[in-house]
Amino acid sequence: MSVFDENNIKDHQTKCMIVLGSHYGFRGRKEHALLNVSQVVIVTINEPRHKYHGFKCVEVRDLLDKSNKLTIHNHYTRDGKYLRYPIRDMNDPSDNIACIARYLEKISPMQTRFYCKEASPQMKDNFAEMGFPKAAMSPKQPLGENKVAEMIASGCRRCGLGDCKGQGLRRIFVTTLANAQGVSEKERLASSRHNSVAAQLTYQTRNTSSEAAKFDAVLGKLKN
């Protein structure tokens, strides 16, 4: 992720898209394009026995599942799904979660969509006079789905992921959870917003990590 320069707003947006796809399991271009500022918040993990108790984290709220989409007839989500990850070092450019927190500082007044076109120099000056010196986007010019798709594809190539696109990042996310020790089935399903293991299987792929885990499991049991 070091290939992205967060001082460049388009680079910073692309980096956020890659993180939201690979860490939060966003589906394709549409979920990125329709993401609202109000859905991304900084909260503190306050569960007393949580390993990361006291850590600030980036929480993405009101994520949809396929059986409960927003339409002209359905104006709210059924269960307000959310996903969060801790910020380990707000000033570390390699902290991918902190990348999103730093991006929130660039949100402009009255901006509702998470991704908008870069503001003009004059607009940035106006925001600074209003007390928002880091505001960098034109609030009434959200990025469209095609532009988001283009940025994700370009970002994946820059990261060395080849022709990976939005769904490919989601596949990486689901496969990573499936191969991770200690992540419960319930946690995987909630995180990927799947209602069944069968639905999740279509996103899982075999790789060297899963094969190595198989070696450890089988050879460990059969070594005697």
Tens digits of residue pLDDT in 59-75: 999 887 665 555 554 44
Strands 40-44 and 56-63, bridge-based pairing? antiparallel
**76: pLDDT strictly greater than 60:** no
Give 213's pLDDT tier (boundaries 50, 70, 90).
low
Amino acid 69: pLDDT: 53
Q: Structure pTM?
A: 0.83
Residue 142: pLDDT above 90? yes
**222 vs 84, more confident:** 84
Give the span between the Cα atoms of 109 and 52, in whole angstroms.
32
Rounded distance between C-alpha atoms, residue 132 and residue 128, angstroms: 5
Residue 219 has pLDDT above 80, yes or no: no
Task: Using CB atoms within 10 Å of the CB of residue 189, give its burial: 0 to 12 exposed, 13 to 18 middle, 19+ buried.
Answer: middle
Separation of alpha carbons 180 and 204, rounded Å: 12
For residues 148, 154, 157 and 158, what is the CA-based torsion angle, rounded to 10 degrees? -110
- Given a cut of 60, whether residue 78 has pLDDT beyond it is no
Contact (CB, 8 A) for 41 and 178: no
State residue 217's pLDDT score.
66
Q: Give the residue-averaged pLDDT of 117-127.
A: 97
Asked if 203 and 192 count as a contact pair (C-beta separation under 8 A), the reply is yes
143 versus 193: which is more confidently predicted? 143
Residue type, 196: S
pLDDT tens-digit series, residues 178-188: 877 787 888 87
Q: Please determine, for residue 2, whether its predicted confidence score (pLDDT) is greater than 80.
A: yes
pLDDT in tens, 156-166: 999 998 888 87
**Every domain of the chain and the residues it spans:** 9-161
Q: Is 75 helix (H, G, I), strand (E, B) or coil?
A: coil
Q: Return d(Cα 124, Cα 9) in angstroms, integer.
A: 12
Non-local (6+) Cβ contacts of 77 within 8 A are 62, 63, 64, 68, 70
CA distance 38 to 194: 23
Residue 221 has pLDDT above 70, yes or no: no
**CB of 87 within 8 A of CB of 101?**
yes
Helix extents (H) in the chain: 9-22, 28-33, 96-104, 121-129, 145-158, 166-179, 185-192, 197-201, 208-222
Percent share of the chain, pLDDT over 70: 84
In this predicted structure, which of 35-44, 60-69, 105-114, 119-128 has the lowest mean pLDDT?
60-69
How large is the average pLDDT for residues 129-154?
97
**Quick one: average pLDDT of 39-49?**
93
DSSP 95-120: -HHHHHHHHHTTPPTT--BS-EEEPP
What per-residue confidence (pLDDT) applies to 32?
A: 94
